[in-house]
Amino acid sequence: MKNLITKIKKLCKIQDLIQEGDKIAVGLSGGKDSLMLLKALCELRKKFKNCFSLIAICIDLSNGKMNFSNLKSFCEQLNVELLVINSNIFEIVFDIRKEKNPCSLCANLRKGLLYSTAKKHGCNKVALGHHADDLLETFCMAIKQENRLYVLPAKSYLSRTDLTLIRPMLLCYENEIIAQTNSLPLTKNICPVDHATTRQSTKKFLEKLENECPNIKQSLLNALTNPQRYKLWQIK
C-alpha cells in the first residue's frame, strides 16, 4: 500500500491533480481498481490534512438488482459518502440495442451518469481507477484499431460538464493493486462479456511481450509518461 501511495502522490504532484478545496467524486464499480483508488485517496487526504473532500458514486447497471451492501460498509469505514445510482444500462445495451460490441456504449452511458451525478452534488473533479497497464493497453489498442498514437491523460477538462477528470493511479501497475485486494470488498462483475474483450487480448499480448523482453512495460511507461521526450502525455 505504501508504494501505491508514493506513486499516486508523485503523479498528483507532477500533474497537479489535486488542489485545496477540491470535491472529488470517485467512480466506484466494486472492482479492485476503483476500490483501491478510493482507499488510497482517503490515505492521501490524511497526508494532505483534509484539504480536499471525497464522495463515491456507484452506477448500478442492473436497475437495483445488485447488492452493494459491502461497498456501503467499506465507504462507511472510510468515512466517505456513497451514492448508488440505479440505471437500466444493461437493458439498453443488451436487450434493446442488442449491441455486438457493447463496451463502448456501456462506458459512455456510465460516464454520462457519473458526470451528471458528480456535478449535481457539487463536485469539481471526477477520479477514475485506470492504472499503468490500462495506459499501455490503450496505447496499443489505439495503434492497432485507429492507426493513431494516444495515451490516457492523467488530467483532462470536460468542457460539457465543467468537470476535471483525473486518473491518479496511472503510475501504478495492476499487479501492485492485486497484491492489496485481500483488504478490499470486491463485487462480482456481472457483465456477460467480462474478460472477452479486445482489451483482454491486448493485456495477454503485453504479458507475452514482457515475458520475452523483461521490463519492456516499464520502458514503455517511462517513454509515454515523460513529457520531455515525445510530448504524448499532455494535459487536455
Tell me how far apart the alpha carbons of residues 129 and 33 are, in angstroms, rounded to a whole number.
5
Give CA separation, 201 vs 79, 169, 223, 234, 235, in Å: 38, 22, 23, 27, 28
Residue ranges of the domains in the chain?
2-225
Q: Pick the closest to residue 32 from 204, 191, 176 (CA basis).
A: 176
Tell me how far apart the alpha carbons of residues 135 and 139 are, in angstroms, rounded to a whole number.
6
Q: Pick the closest to residue 125 from 57, 174, 205 (CA basis).
A: 57
Look up the pTM and report it: 0.90
194 compared with 55, residue with greater pLDDT = 55
Sign of CA dihedral 54, 116, 103, 94: positive
Q: Pick the closest to residue 45 from 168, 217, 187, 176 (CA basis).
A: 168
CATH of domain 2-225: 3.40.50.620
Which grid coordinates are listed for 56?
463515491
What pLDDT score does 192 carry? 67
Question: If pLDDT is split at 50, 70 and 90, which confidence band does 230 have?
Answer: low
13 compared with 62, residue with greater pLDDT = 13
Question: If pLDDT is split at 50, 70 and 90, which confidence band does 228 have?
Answer: low
Tens digits of per-residue pLDDT, 65-123? 788 899 999 999 999 999 999 988 878 887 787 777 777 788 888 999 999 999 999 99
Tens digits of per-residue pLDDT, 176-209? 999 988 888 888 766 766 655 788 899 999 999 9
Which grid coordinates are listed for 135?
495506459
Tell me how far apart the alpha carbons of residues 212 and 206 are, in angstroms, rounded to a whole number.
10
Report DSSP state, residue 193.
T
Q: Pick the closest to residue 114 from 60, 76, 154, 178 (CA basis).
A: 60
Q: Which range, 21-25, 106-110, 148-152, has the best average confidence (pLDDT)?
A: 21-25
Tens digits of per-residue pLDDT, 30-52? 999 999 999 999 999 998 887 99
Nearest-5° angle of CA 181, CA 185, CA 188? 95
